[in-house]
Amino acid sequence: MEAQSSVNLNAPYFLELAGFDQLLQVLRQEDYRVIGPTIRDGAIVYDQVSSSADLPAGWTDVQEAGQYRLKKRDDQALFGYTVGPHSWKKFLYPSTMRLFLAHRRNGGFEVKEEPHEVPRLAFIGVRSCELHAIAIHDKVFLGGSYTDGSYQAHREKAFLVAVNCGEAGGTCFCASMNTGPKAGQGYDLALTEVCENSRHFLLVEAGSERGAHILDEVSHRPARPEEEAAAERAIANTAQQMGRQVDTTDIKDLLYRNYEHPRWDAVASRCLACANCTMVCPTCFCSTVEDITDLKGENAERWRKWDSCFTTDFSYIHGGSIRATPRARYRQWMTHKLASWIDQFGSSGCVGCGRCITWCPVAIDITEEVRVIRETDAVTLSKKGNGNGN
């Protein structure tokens, strides 16, 4: 049993910028591989970082439907941008993973358990929407009668340093999904960056005993009321800046009763079925398996890979695809995300991060699709008396 931490859970502490680097160092000393935002190929991605110098200090991102670019900021904020094409799912739920090895033996075969060498990962800069996405995956992979052992092992070892958003992106809509911009729970430590009037500091809160013990090792002091107020201001400001919004009132039934809405045809006429939205989505969890052998057939392997409901193979059963048209596939994706997910896992599958909007090559916007369906909802229209009521 470790000594009691002097840090109070959920109390704000003041952290100098140097303290942030100290935090990364402590995590490394604790044998964590530290993963955080960094710039690569003109985008902010998640990769190994060793100090604040690796972070995109002084950069922000400009996001719109189908558009993403980086831009210099007026200040040196470490977290002055929103989410990029990566999400943490690629670390907790690898895009390709071997499930087992098998080899021939005694005229039959033997299946070997796959040893999982799960690294201790510390995630730096987990946004509130991403914490929600991780909580959603927890329900998917750990909440049912079966659990995904690999996910569980990754998850248990991951140390989460959240950051409250000081800025909302053009495609963000977490406020209307009730998933941000302030991190509520599910983190070990949560940071708020304040970068105003030539002051630049961080506030930090511990959300777990594990987080408190790490914070013990980092220079900090209780935050002063005006520092707290500055942090609250920054977050409140973000909530006001949301680039998008979704009216989620009755959204499950809205989509369930609009399976035959003509809007699906309209969106299908633009959708390339490229699967980008499912790859960048932090909650999309579909996978497929691939069985392979070596040339002599002595050894066989099964690999699990991310899959997408936008492929025709996804719903293939002997002879044909159930969802043969892009219309059906887009409808499946969006209806699953916003409606059937609620029946399956008790919450929406959308966390309002806006990635699917930004990274859609033809700028399809899920918030716009919901808005149009809501405005032309057969039921609502017939109530208003200007629909045909069918």
Partner 1 sequence: MSTKTAEVETSAGVYVDPMLPRPYRVQRLRQETSDTFTLELEPEGGARELEFEPGQFNMLYAYGVGEVPISISGDPTKPAVLVHTTREVGMVTRAMRKLKPWDSLGVRGPFGVGWPVEKARGADVVIVAGGIGLAPLRPALYQVLAARKYYGKVVLLYGTRTPTDILFRRELQQWHSRFDLEVHVTVDRAMGNWRGNVGVVTSLIPRAPFDPHSTVAMVCGPEVMMRFTVQELERRGVATENVYLSMERNMKCAVGFCGHCQFGSEFICRDGPVFRYDRIQSLLAVREI
Partner 2 sequence: MAIENLERILIEHPFFDGMKQEHMDLLVGCASNVRFDAGQFILREGEEANSFYLIRQGKAALEIYAPGRGSISIQTLGAGEVLGWSWLVPPYRWRFDARAIELTRAIALDGKCLRQKCEKDADLGFALLQRFSQVMVEHLQATRLQLLNVYENR
Indicate whether 385 belongs to the interface with partner 2 (CB under 8 A). Answer: no
Q: Is residue 319 close enough to count as binding partner 2 by CB under 8 A?
A: yes
Structure tokens given for 214: 């790490």
Binding mask 103-122 for partner 1 (x = CB under 8 A): -x--xxxxx-xxxx------
Q: Looking at beta carbons only, is 107 or 320 nearer to partner 2?
A: 320
H or E, element range at 264: helix 263-270
Choose, by CB under 8 A, the member of 196, 247, 260, 375 that binds partner 1.
Answer: 260
Please give the structure tokens belonging to residue 318.
């002997």
Assess 313 for contact with partner 2 (CB under 8 A): no
Q: Which stretch binds partner 2 (CB under 8 A): 37-45, 175-183, 317-325, 354-362?
A: 317-325
Distances, alpha carbon 266 to alpha carbons 10, 251, 256, 327, 364, in Å: 47, 20, 18, 8, 11
First-to-final CA distance of the chain: 66
Contact 181, 165 (CB under 8 A): yes
User: Residue 363 Cβ, how far from partner 1 at the closest point, in Å?
Assistant: 25
The string over 51-61, giving b where at least 16 C-beta atoms fall within 10 Å of a residue's C-beta and e elsewhere, is ebebbbbebbb
Candidate ranges 75-83, 170-178, 266-274, 283-291; the one touching partner 1 (CB under 8 A)? 283-291
Say what angle helices 263-270 and 366-375 make with each other, to 10 degrees.
160
Stretch that binds partner 1, among 46-54, 204-212, 281-289, 368-376 (CB under 8 A): 281-289
Token output for 352: 């309002």
Q: How far apart are CA 325 and CA 311, in angstroms?
A: 10
User: Does residue number 323 form part of the binding site for partner 1 (CB under 8 A)?
Assistant: yes
Assess contact for 222 and 205: CB atoms under 8 A.
no
Q: Comparing C-alpha atoms, which of 131, 178, 141 is closest to residue 348?
A: 178
Q: Which does 379 bind (CB under 5 to 8 A by kind): partner 1, partner 2, none?
A: none
Q: How far is the CB of 79 from partner 1 (least distance, A)?
A: 32
Contact 301/102 with Cβ under 8 angstroms?
yes
User: With respect to partner 2, which residue has the nearer C-beta, 71 or 318?
Assistant: 318
**Cα–Cα distance measured from residue 45 to residue 85, given in angstroms and rounded to the nearest whole number:** 7
CB of 321 to partner 2, least distance (A): 12
Could you say which residues in the range 287-316 bind partner 1, by CB under 8 A? Answer: 287-289, 291-293, 297, 300, 302, 307, 309, 314-316
Select the span of 74-82, 318-326, 355-363, 367-375 touching partner 2 (CB under 8 A): 318-326
Q: Please report whether residue 69 would count as binding partner 1 according to CB under 8 A.
A: no
320 binds partner 2 (CB under 8 A): yes
The binding track of 126-155 with respect to partner 1, each residue x by CB under 8 A or -, is --------------xx--xxxxxxx-xx--
Is 262 a binding residue for partner 1 by CB under 8 A? The answer is no
Residue 320, binding choice from partner 1, partner 2, none, Cβ under 5 to 8 Å by partner class: partner 2
The tokens of 62 are what?
Answer: 């400009």
Do the Cβ atoms of 48 and 90 come closer than 8 Å? no
What is the enclosing helix (H) or strand (E) of 121?
strand 121-126
Q: Which residues bind partner 2 (CB under 8 A)?
A: 318-320
